[in-house]
């Protein structure tokens, strides 16, 4: 075990980034023109990084496995993006955003990184507006805000329920502009399948051309990964079907470290699972908790009647409803952080109050909001004295539709039930991964020249991410952090000539990748890739999901090892390696998930405390809340891969500015 150095600059929290930035090493324009950078992944973090590095004059090569950079899963982010603008005059500030994020993350993130994130948040909004991102506006033409979980100010900027789409299209347009000028070369339908290290430094990648199956060598002075999270290790998640850990995991197998992999976020408001054929889960934005109230019937017999279809939510009288979040957490009510809301839903369903046929769902009800908005509209129209209840509902529905229309429509399409009439049924689902590749303050891994941005790294969200902070982090890393910090590495490389792909290191990486692919094709077993992925997901959810315990984690780990062995004996991959072969793509990704899953179990087992999304049943307060153990576990657990026994490295977290407290949202 080694202790890792995060290279956090000295100075006060407020001055660290500003001072560091002004004293950083620079690369002169004439040298930038010769220096090549590979960016893998073109979601918010990757597209913004590639575009900005291109603008600065570097020679950038960007890679995505999608057919276009515009398809990255950032596009599906719904609710919004946080920024400490304080446009609402409600007491927000950079410090408050910093504090909320540290507290929301249950004190398992790095102070310096989080403060820098809060500082950058302000510029992100300006940049996005300048690119033409059509944020929601007030009648005066100024930007509108709403609230998200775990905070008491309104700092979330949004574009209906499609904020991720609009921000990604903004970054994509900047990237497209750089592609048109030739400063970025774009490789669509290329998947990174290995990292190439030359003399210990990251100098390139092996990419598989997904159309031809050809393995290509690509060299550069350094490599930037922005390849997203690994939520699909659970098979069912809100991630897109293609989201995967392969680029990050191949880097781990080349010496990078996987940090806090057990910190996964279970989002409280998703459409519940309906059958075995289900391929993915759909999120209902957290913004809905601004206006929706979460409840279950107080009496179990009512829940049973609803499950059996004998009653609906509308038959349950107000006094028979348990608005359990408002009851347990009066200060934050329905807007508690995601980990708290998810666990509370599980508690109610485990007690037998669930409301879907599977018993795994709670209600998210908009009737109070519809009535409240309807009355307000009637008042502003001057008709509040003479209006009927039906008219109030009609007016209220219109307001709700304007705010959340596309989400309600999405719910209706998937479930076939009208959420304006019946409350939505929701249940927690895997959504985001706070863990990721270990990086220092420069976003550089322990492999020199390898940088990791966005959800793919671990650094900013601790054990739980607050809503509307993923978009913020992806764009902060890409637009405002990496363009500076990459210079710390590259300023020492100005004498390094263009990297050749003829070296032994490239040949070795290519041939070992070829062998691995051949091995998968040659197994010719009897079970599909999909069936292994589903089984892995079930193990992960059962033993490493919303609550975990030591026995389960040990069992889960051995089950994964057994499954991995079976996979290499009996998987069937149709077709050949030298063609467009989506099944082979899946097989390569699932093989990596089968290793990552084991490290997640190990990490969860190692962390004998409960914090954020990591809830160990052995460590709970008398009221069932998470019990942190700061003395022993205020560290980042960074794992080095080893087939037999992964090795733990630690980075101690020191808190100089915030006092470690038990999180309370009561």
Partner 1 sequence: MQLKLKVWRQKNAKTNGEFQTYSVTASEHMSFLEMLDVLNEELISKKEDPIAFEHDCREGICGTCNLVIDGRPHGPMQGTTTCQLHMRSFKDGDTIVIEPWRAEAFPIIKDLVVDRSAFDRIIQSGGYISVNTGQAMDGNAIPVEKDLAIKAFDAATCIGCGACVAACPNGSAMLFTAAKVSHLGLLPQGKVEHTKRTRSMVDQMDKEGFGNCSNVGACEVECPKEISIENIARMNRSYVAAVFGSDE
Q: Which of residues 285-324 bind partner 1 (CB under 8 A)?
A: none
Q: Which of residues 546-575 bind partner 1 (CB under 8 A)?
A: 572, 574-575
Pick between residue 213 and residue 448 the one whose CB is nearest to partner 1: 213
How many Å from the N-terminal Cα to the C-terminal Cα in the chain?
A: 39
Q: Is 480 among the residues that bind partner 1 (CB under 8 A)? A: yes
Burial 474-488 (b: 16+ CB within 10 A, else e): bbbbbbbbbbbbbbb
Q: Is 229 among the residues that bind partner 1 (CB under 8 A)? A: no
Distance of CA 50 to the CA centre of its chain: 20
Q: Is 282 among the residues that bind partner 1 (CB under 8 A)? A: yes
Pick between residue 240 and residue 450 the one whose CB is nearest to partner 1: 240
Please list the helix, strand and coil fractions of the chain in percent, rounded to the nearest 5, in that order: 45, 15, 40
Among 187, 324, 458, 479, binds partner 1 (CB under 8 A): 479
Pick between residue 462 and residue 483 the one whose CB is nearest to partner 1: 483
Q: Is 123 among the residues that bind partner 1 (CB under 8 A)? A: yes
Q: Is 538 among the residues that bind partner 1 (CB under 8 A)? A: no
- The answer to whether 629 is a known catalytic residue is no
Q: Is 330 among the residues that bind partner 1 (CB under 8 A)? A: no
Question: Could you tell me which of 264, 259, 243, 260 has the C-alpha nearest to residue 342?
Answer: 264
Entry field: residues in the chain: 666
Pick between residue 93 and residue 531 the one whose CB is nearest to partner 1: 531
Q: Which of residues 395-454 bind partner 1 (CB under 8 A)?
A: 409-410, 413-414, 416
> What is the closest distance, in whole angstroms, from the C-beta atom of residue 661 to partner 1 in the complex?
33
Among 10, 30, 89, 140, binds partner 1 (CB under 8 A): 140
**Long-range contacts of residues 400-404, Cβ cutoff 8 Å, at least 24 apart:** 400/291, 400/366, 400/369, 400/370, 400/373, 403/287, 403/291, 404/161, 404/285, 404/287, 404/288, 404/291
What would the x/- binding string for partner 1 be over residues 577 to 596, using CB under 8 A? --xx-xx-------------
> What is the closest distance, in whole angstroms, from the C-beta atom of residue 605 to partner 1 in the complex?
33
Q: Is 143 among the residues that bind partner 1 (CB under 8 A)? A: yes
Secondary structure class of 465 (helix, strand, coil)? coil
Among 58, 98, 135, 408, binds partner 1 (CB under 8 A): 135
Q: Tokens 């793919």 sit at which residue?
A: 456
> What is the closest distance, in whole angstroms, from the C-beta atom of residue 464 to partner 1 in the complex?
23
SS (H, E, C) 207-268: EEECCCCCEEEEECCEEEECCCCCHHHHCCCCCCCCCCCHHHHHHHHCCCCEECCCCEEEEE
Q: Is 501 among the residues that bind partner 1 (CB under 8 A)? A: no
Pick between residue 69 and residue 597 the one whose CB is nearest to partner 1: 69
Report how far residue 185's alpha carbon sits from residue 52's, in angstroms, rounded to the nearest whole number. 13
Report how far residue 559's alpha carbon sits from residue 275's, in angstroms, rounded to the nearest whole number. 24
> What is the closest distance, in whole angstroms, from the C-beta atom of residue 412 to partner 1 in the complex?
10
Q: Which stretch in 146-154, 238-246, 293-301, 381-389 sits in contact with partner 1 by CB under 8 A?
A: 238-246
Return the number of other C-beta atoms located less than 10 Å from residue 391's C-beta. Answer: 14
Active-site residue, selected from the candidate residues 96, 217, 293, 338? 338
The burial of 180, by beta-carbon neighbours within 10 Å (0-12 exposed, 13-18 middle, 19 or more buried), is given as: exposed
Pick between residue 91 and residue 140 the one whose CB is nearest to partner 1: 140
Total H helices, total E strands in the chain:
19, 21
Q: Which of residues 60-99 bind partner 1 (CB under 8 A)?
A: 66-73, 75-76, 85, 87
Q: Which of residues 207-226 bind partner 1 (CB under 8 A)?
A: 211
Pick between residue 192 and residue 600 the one whose CB is nearest to partner 1: 192
Angle at 431 between CA 430 and CA 434, to 5 degrees: 105
> What is the closest distance, in whole angstroms, from the C-beta atom of residue 26 to partner 1 in the complex?
15
What angle, 0 to 180 degrees and rounded to 10, lies between the N-to-C axes of helices 246-253 and 582-606? 60
Q: Is 145 among the residues that bind partner 1 (CB under 8 A)? A: no
List beta partners, residue 137.
143
Q: Which stretch in 128-136, 321-329, 363-371, 557-565 sits in contact with partner 1 by CB under 8 A?
A: 128-136
Q: Which stretch in 33-41, 160-168, 514-522, 637-645 sits in contact with partner 1 by CB under 8 A?
A: 160-168
Q: Is 173 among the residues that bind partner 1 (CB under 8 A)? A: yes
What would the x/- binding string for partner 1 be over residues 28 to 47, using CB under 8 A? --------------------
List beta partners, residue 614.
611
> What is the closest distance, in whole angstroms, from the C-beta atom of residue 598 to partner 1 in the complex?
26
Among 185, 528, 606, 657, binds partner 1 (CB under 8 A): 528
Q: Is 487 among the residues that bind partner 1 (CB under 8 A)? A: no
Q: 183: part of which helix (H) or strand (E)?
A: none
Q: Is 182 among the residues that bind partner 1 (CB under 8 A)? A: no
Angle at 339 between CA 93 and CA 402, to 5 degrees: 65
- Site residue total, partner 1 (CB under 8 A): 82
Residues recognised as catalytic: 338
């Amino acid at each position: 075990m080694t202790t890792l150095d995060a290279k956090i600059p000295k100075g006060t929290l407020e001055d660290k980034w500003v001072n560091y930035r002004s004293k950083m090493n620079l690369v002169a324009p004439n040298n930038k023109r010769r220096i090549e950078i590979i960016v893998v992944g073109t979601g918010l973090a990757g597209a913004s990084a590639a575009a900005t590095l291109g603008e600065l004059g570097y020679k950038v090569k960007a890679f995505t496995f999608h057919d276009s950079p515009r398809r990255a899963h950032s596009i599906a982010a719904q609710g919004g993006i946080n920024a400490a603008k304080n446009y609402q005059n409600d007491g927000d500030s950079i410090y408050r955003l910093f504090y909320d994020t540290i507290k929301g993350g249950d004190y398992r993130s790095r102070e310096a990184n989080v403060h820098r994130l809060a500082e950058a948040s302000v510029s992100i909004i300006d940049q996005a507006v300048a690119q033409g991102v059509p944020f929601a506006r007030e009648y005066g033409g100024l930007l509108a805000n709403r609230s998200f979980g775990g905070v008491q100010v309104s700092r979330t900027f949004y574009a209906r329920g499609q904020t991720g789409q609009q921000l990604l299209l903004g970054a994509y347009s900047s990237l497209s502009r750089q592609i048109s000028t030739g400063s970025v070369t774009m490789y669509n339908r290329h998947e990174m399948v290995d990292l190439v290290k030359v003399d210990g430094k990251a100098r390139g990648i092996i990419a598989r051309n997904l159309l031809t199956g050809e393995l290509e060598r690509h060299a550069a002075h350094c490599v930037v990964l922005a390849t997203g999270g690994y939520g699909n290790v659970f098979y069912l998640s809100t991630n897109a079907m293609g989201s995967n850990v392969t680029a990050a995991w191949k880097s781990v197998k080349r010496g990078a470290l996987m940090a806090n992999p057990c910190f996964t976020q279970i989002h409280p408001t998703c459409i519940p699972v309906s059958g075995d054929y289900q391929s993915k889960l759909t999120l209902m934005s957290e913004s809905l908790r601004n206006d929706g109230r979460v409840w279950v019937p107080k009496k179990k017999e009512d829940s049973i009647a609803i499950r059996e279809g004998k009653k609906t939510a509308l038959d349950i009288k107000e006094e028979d409803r348990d608005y359990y979040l408002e009851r347990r957490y009066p200060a934050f009510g329905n807007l508690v952080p995601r980990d708290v809301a998810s666990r509370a839903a599980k508690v109610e369903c485990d007690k037998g109050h669930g409301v879907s046929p599977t018993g795994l769902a709670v209600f998210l009800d908009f009737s109070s909001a519809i009535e409240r908005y309807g009355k307000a509209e009637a008042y502003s129209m001057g008709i509040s004295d003479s209006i009927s209840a039906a008219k109030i509902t009609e007016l209220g529905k219109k307001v709700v539709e304007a705010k959340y229309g596309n989400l309600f429509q999405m719910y209706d399409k998937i479930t076939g039930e009208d959420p304006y009439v019946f409350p939505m049924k929701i249940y927690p689902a895997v959504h985001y991964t706070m863990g990721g590749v270990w990086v220092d303050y420069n976003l550089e891994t322990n492999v020199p020249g390898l940088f990791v941005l966005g959800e793919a790294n671990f650094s900013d969200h601790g054990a739980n991410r607050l809503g509307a902070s993923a978009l913020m982090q992806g764009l902060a890393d890409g637009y405002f952090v990496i363009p500076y910090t990459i210079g710390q590495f590259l300023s020492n490389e100005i004498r390094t000539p263009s990297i050749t792909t003829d070296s032994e290191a490239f040949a070795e990486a290519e041939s070992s990748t070829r062998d691995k692919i051949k091995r998968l094709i040659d197994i010719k077993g009897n079970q599909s890739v999909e069936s292994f992925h589903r089984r892995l997901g079930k193990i992960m959810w059962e033993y490493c999901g919303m609550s975990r315990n030591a026995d389960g984690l040990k069992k889960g780990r051995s089950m994964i090892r057994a499954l991995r062995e079976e996979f290499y004996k009996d998987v069937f991959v149709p077709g050949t390696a030298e063609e467009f072969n989506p099944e082979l793509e899946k097989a390569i990704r699932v093989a990596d998930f089968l290793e990552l899953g084991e490290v997640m179990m190990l990490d969860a087992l190692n962390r004998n405390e409960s914090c954020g999304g990591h809830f160990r049943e052995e460590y709970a307060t008398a009221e069932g809340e998470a019990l942190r153990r700061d003395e022993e576990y205020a560290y980042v657990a960074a794992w080095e891969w080893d087939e037999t026994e992964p090795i733990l490295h630690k980075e101690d977290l020191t808190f100089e500015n915030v006092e470690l407290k038990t999180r309370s949202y009561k």
